[in-house]
Structure 1
C-alpha cells in the first residue's frame, strides 16, 4: 500500500498547487481567456498546461503542511496576486470600451446597445466594436505572449510565500484615472468634430426657426458620426501601441516585489 508522508504532500503542494492558484486566478480574470466565451473547464485545462510547462523553470517552492492555516493563507495570497495581474489587463481593455461609450453618446447612438457575450452585460455597439478591435490587435501583436512572460517572471520577482506590499493597491487605484484619460484621449478628436456639428445645427435652428432640425439633425449626426469613426480608424493603431505599451509596462511593474 502506497503511503505518503506529510513532507511529501507538502512538497507537492508547494511545487505545483501554489503556482497553479496564481496562474488559474489570473486566467479567470484577464480578458479574452477569462471571459464567458471560454468555458471554465477550458480555462482550468489551460492553467494546468501552463503550470506544467513553467514549473521546471520556477525557483524552489516553500514546503508547507497541506492542511494548515499557513497553506490556506499562501493560497489566498497567490489568488490575490493572480487577480491583481488580470485586473490590470482588464483596465487596458475597458479603456477602449469607455471610449466607445463616450463616442456613442455624443453621436446619438447610445440607445443602440447589444449584449456583450464576453461579459454578459449590455454595452453600446461602438464600444463592442472597439472591444473586438483591441482584442484582435492584442492577439495579432502577441500581447498574450508578453502576459505569459510576465506571469512566469512574477514567480522570480515575487516568489511564492512573500508578502504583498500595500503600494500595489494604491497603484491600481491611481491607474483608474489613466483608464478614463486614455479613453478620452482616444475619442477626443471625434467628440470635438461632433460638437462642432451640433453647434452648427444650433445656429441653423436659431437662424431658421421654421426648419425642423430634429428631423434632419439626428440622422445627419449619425451619418457624420460613422464617417468620423471611419476616418479615425487610421490612427487607432498608433493609439493602441501607446496604450498597450503603458499597460504591459504597468503589468510588469505590478509583478515586481519592490
Structure 2
C-alpha cells in the first residue's frame, strides 16, 4: 500500500489541529496546566484527547507541507487554545487573590508556605483560596467545558474568529482586581473597623497599643469573619464562572 503525500497530510491534519489547540489549553488552563502533572503525562493526555476528537470532528484541512506555514499555523492554534484556558485561569486567580488580600488585611501576610512544584512561596491564605477556587472550578465542570469549547471551536474550521469578540477577555481581566476586592469585602470592612477602633483607643489608653491588643484581635476576628463568609462565596463564584463561559463562547469562531 502506497500512501501519497496528500493522504499523509490529510491524516496528519485531523490529528495535529486539535492537538495543537489542546496543547495551548494545557499551557494556561486551570487543572490541565497544573505543574503537579508531569509534562509526559500532559503530552499523553493531549494526544489522547486529540485522537478522540480526530474521529469526531468534520473534515479538517490538511496540515501545511511548507515548514514555515506549518510553524506559523501551529503557533496560531497553540495561542488560541492558550487564550481559552486563560479565561478560566483568571477566575481561579480572582479567588486566589481574594485570599492574598485577606491575609494582608488581617496581618497574616508573613505566614507563607511553598507548595510542591512551585518555585516561589505564597501566603497560606492565598494557597488555601487557590485550592478552594480550583476545586470549585472542577466541581462546576470547568475542565469539561473547556474541552467541549475546544471541540466546538472546529465547527467553523480551523479559524480563530475575529479580534472583536476577544475584547471580552480584556473585560474579564479588568474585573479581576475589583472582583477580588468585592469577595474580600467582609473581611476588609471588619479589619478597617478594628484598626480605627484600636487607633482611637490608643489615644486614651496608650498601653493598649496595636501589638498587644490590635494585632491578636485583628487575626482572631479576621479569621472568624473569613470562615463565616466562605459559605457566601458560592453565588459570586458561579457568577464569575458564567462570565468566563460567556467570554469563551464569544471567542469561538462561528460559521
TM-score with structure 1 setting the length = 0.91
- Give me the whole-angstrom Cα distance separating, in 2, the residues matched to 1:163 and 1:152: 13
Runs of 5+ consecutive residues of structure 1 not aligned to the other structure: none
1:153-189: CA deviations, max 9, x gaps?
11114x21x2553335544333221111211111112
Once the two structures are TM-superposed, the CA of residue 108 in structure 1 deviates from its matched residue by 0.6
Partner of residue 151, structure 1:
150
Once the two structures are TM-superposed, the CA of residue 70 in structure 1 deviates from its matched residue by 2.3
Partner of residue 184, structure 1:
181
Partner of residue 48, structure 1:
47
Partner of residue 57, structure 1:
56
Partner of residue 126, structure 1:
125
Partner of residue 236, structure 2:
239
Partner of residue 69, structure 1:
68
- Give me the whole-angstrom Cα distance separating, in 2, the residues matched to 1:240 and 1:164: 28
Once the two structures are TM-superposed, the CA of residue 142 in structure 1 deviates from its matched residue by 2.2
- Give me the whole-angstrom Cα distance separating, in 2, the residues matched to 1:120 and 1:213: 34
Q: In structure 2, which of residues 225, 249, 253 is the aligned counterpart of residue 252 of structure 1?
A: 249
Residue 23 (str. 1) matches residue 22 (str. 2): yes
Partner of residue 80, structure 1:
79
Partner of residue 107, structure 2:
108
Where 1:36 maps in the other structure, the secondary structure is coil
- Give me the whole-angstrom Cα distance separating, in 1, the residues matched to 2:248 and 2:37: 23
In 2 relative to 1, CA 50–255 (structure 1 residues): closer, same or farther, beyond 3 Å?
A: same
- Give me the whole-angstrom Cα distance separating, in 2, the residues matched to 1:163 and 1:14: 16
Count of residues in correspondence between the two structures: 255
Where 2:114 maps in the other structure, the secondary structure is strand
Runs of 5+ consecutive residues of structure 2 not aligned to the other structure: none
Moved more, 75-84 or 118-127: 118-127
TM-score with structure 2 setting the length = 0.92
Contact 1:14 1:63 in 2 (8 A): yes
Contact 1:201 1:213 in 2 (8 A): yes
1:89-145: CA deviations, max 9, x gaps?
111111011111111111111111122436533221111111111122222232222
